[in-house]
């Protein structure tokens, strides 16, 4: 009862209330969707503790057992404390951790940003290796994939215009017509699938989370 029925009832009631209030602007119903999001972020704050706890424990175990590469866990702790402590200090000093002059933002800009952009920029290499490997005309479908990819790649750079001055136009036609249609179909499918899943959740048919 406590472990199964009540959670199912909570899901049912929350789901139905929020869907119904979508159609009712009158207070207090009109604001409920917004409130649900607020509640979500509050609960999220608590579960974030679970995440931090899981990580800290994970690295603590590594350190204690002197597992292979244990000293990288020290690096992890340093990074965590650096951003967390500067965040708190900056908040106290400037009233806003995201103030441009705060030490928190300074670390953000000088350490986190280069790491982010470099990691992001790995894509330039991977997009090349993936195209080399994957774009083989193994069958009809793969050939279609390959042909539009190559045309669009060429049409996007000045060289494409030099090769055939209509290529940029063909490229935008492919993007606006050939690409848009199927993407719409995929979107409609995903939306209908989402609604169907929502109904299954409300009705308690789909209950992965409650097992």
Partner 1 sequence: MIMFILLSTITVKAFDTPNDGGKSITIKAYNVPETVKKALVYRKTEGDTTYTLAGVMSILSYRFMDADSTIKNGKPYYYRVDFYFPDTVISVEADSPGIAYAQWYDKTKTSSLIFLIVFSTFVLVFIQLAKKDPEGLYIRKIPALDAIDEAVGRSTELGKPTFFVHGLLGITDAGTLAALTILRRVAKKVAEYDTPILVTNYDPIVMTASQETVKQAYTEAGRPDAYNEKNIIYLTYEQFGYTAGVDGLMVREKPGAIFLQGYFFAESLILAETGHSVGAIQIAGTTAKEQLPFFVAACDYVLIGEEMLAASSYIGREPVMLGSVKGSDWGKVFLLAIIGIGVAIGTIGSILQSAGNGALMNVFEKILAFF
Partner 2 sequence: MGFWDRFLKIDRRWVFLIVWIAVVIPLLKPLGLPTHITPPVKKLYDYIDKMEGEDKAVFLSFDFDPSTMPELLPMGVAVIRHCFAKKIPIIVYGGLYPQGVGMAKMAIDMAKTDFPDIKYGRDYVFLGYVPGLYLVILSIGESIQGTFGNDYFGNRLDTLPLTMSIDNYEKIGIVVDLSGGDIPTWWVAFAYQRYGCRIGCGTTAVSAAQYYPYLQTGQFVGMLGGLKGAAEYEELLVRNGIPTGRRTATIGMDAQSVVHLLIILLIILGNIGYFYVRRRERRA
Partner 3 sequence: MHISTNPWVWIAAILTLAIYSFLYKDNPFYKFAEHLFMGLGIGYGAVLLWYNSIIPRLWNPLAHGTSPTRFFLLIPIALGLLSLGIFSRRYSWLIKYPLAFYMGAVTGLSVPVAFEANIFEQAQGTILKHSMFSNPWLGISNIIMFIGVITTITYFYFSKQHRGLLGKSARVGIVYIMLAFGASFGYTVMARISLLIGRMQFLLHDWLGIIK
> Pattern 73-112, binding to partner 3, x per CB under 8 A?
x-xxxxxxxxxx--xx--x----xxx-----x--xx-xxx
Residue 5's binding partner out of partner 3, partner 2, partner 1, none, with CB under 5 to 8 Å set by partner kind:
none
Angstrom CA distances, 91 to 17, 70, 102, 129, stand at 38, 32, 8, 44
Residue 47 binds partner 1, judged by CB under 8 A? yes
Length of the chain: 211
Judged by CB under 8 A, which of 1, 42, 50, 162 binds partner 2?
A: 162
**Do 33 and 22 touch, CB atoms closer than 8 A?**
yes
Given phi > 0 = left and psi -120 to 50 = alpha, else beta, which region is 95? left
**Do 210 and 7 touch, CB atoms closer than 8 A?**
yes
Judged by CB under 8 A, which of 61, 67, 123, 159 binds partner 3?
A: 123
- Name which of 151, 145, 157 is nearest 170 in CA terms: 151
> Pattern 21-50, binding to partner 3, x per CB under 8 A?
xx-----x----x-xxxxxxxxxxxxxxxx
Least distance in angstroms from the C-beta of 197 to partner 1: 5
Peptide bond into 28 cis (omega under 30): yes
Least distance in angstroms from the C-beta of 145 to partner 1: 7
Residue 139 binds partner 2, judged by CB under 8 A? no
Least distance in angstroms from the C-beta of 147 to partner 3: 7
Question: What distance in Å separates the CA atoms of residue 109 and residue 201, rounded to the nearest whole number?
Answer: 43
Least distance in angstroms from the C-beta of 79 to partner 2: 19
CA 160 and chain centroid, separation: 34
Residue 197 binds partner 1, judged by CB under 8 A? yes
When computed from its CA atoms, the radius of gyration of the chain, rounded to whole angstroms, is 26
Which residues contact partner 1 (rule: CB under 8 A)?
19, 22-27, 30-31, 40, 43-44, 47-51, 54-55, 58, 61, 112, 115-116, 119-120, 122-123, 126-127, 129-131, 133-135, 145, 183, 186-190, 192-201, 203, 205-206, 208-211
């Amino acid at each position: 009862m406590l472990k199964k029925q009540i959670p199912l009832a909570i899901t049912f009631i929350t789901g139905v209330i929020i869907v119904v209030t979508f159609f009712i602007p009158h207070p207090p119903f009109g604001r409920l969707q917004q409130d649900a999001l607020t509640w979500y972020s509050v609960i999220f704050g608590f579960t974030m503790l679970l995440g931090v706890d899981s990580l800290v424990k994970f690295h603590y175990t590594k350190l204690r057992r002197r597992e292979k590469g244990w000293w990288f866990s020290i690096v992890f702790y340093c990074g965590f404390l650096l951003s967390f402590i500067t965040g708190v200090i900056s908040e106290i000093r400037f009233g806003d951790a995201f103030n441009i002059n705060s030490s928190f933002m300074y670390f953000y800009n000088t350490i986190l940003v280069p790491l982010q952009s470099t990691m992001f920029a790995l894509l330039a290499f991977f997009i090349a290796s993936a195209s080399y490997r994957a774009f083989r005309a193994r069958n009809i479908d793969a050939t279609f994939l390959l042909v539009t990819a190559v045309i669009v790649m060429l049409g996007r750079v000045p060289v494409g215009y030099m090769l055939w001055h209509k290529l940029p136009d063909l490229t935008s036609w492919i993007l606006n017509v050939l690409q848009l249609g199927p993407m719409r179909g995929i979107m409609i499918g995903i939306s209908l699938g989402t609604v169907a899943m929502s109904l299954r959740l409300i009705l308690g048919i789909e209950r992965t989370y409650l097992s």
